Amino acid sequence: MARLIRDNRIIVDDWVLVMPEQAGAELAPGKLVFPLAVWLERQAELLVRDGPLAVWLDSDQHPEAIADILPHLSMVAINFPVFSDGRGYSSARILREQYGFGGELRAIGDVLRDQLFLMRRCGFDSFQLRADRDPEQALASLADFRHAYQFCTMDPGTPLLQRG
């Protein structure tokens, strides 16, 4: 099983991503993360399924698409297809601030060490790093900065320039 960072610790990932090509297959037991298209196609079946539920959004999919089902979800994963695609940051803030999502919010895809501090400030609390990256080094990056210039979803303290 893959390792990931959640709540400032490295853990073994107990969720399984259901790939789009598996959309019609019989579902295995356990914690499954469904692509939005699969969720929409099988929503009635999934809502009565035993166990925790999760949906993954690609960077071009909007949080509004899952607003009505957020109370049923234990986790939302947001895919970063490439390092330079920052739309997932906005999606995370919308889920936390606009919709009040309190479950796990996970960054998946092309997730690198340099992004984690800012991802956490936008509301992510777990990070599935790219397979070729070391989670130990990435975990250390969460302490790279002590001060911030902008407001934070996860820590509503006062930004540096607004302190007296």
Radius of gyration of the chain (CA): 16
Please, what is the average pLDDT of the chain? Answer: 84
Calpha distance 158→163 (Å, rounded): 6
pLDDT for 27 equals 79
Distance, CA of 8 to chain centre: 14
pLDDT for 160 equals 45
Residue 83 pLDDT class (50, 70, 90 cuts): confident
Which residue, 1, 4, 3, 38, is CA-closest to 18? 38
What's the pTM value of the predicted model, to 2 decimals? 0.83
pLDDT tens figures, 95-125:
999 999 999 999 999 988 778 888 888 899 9
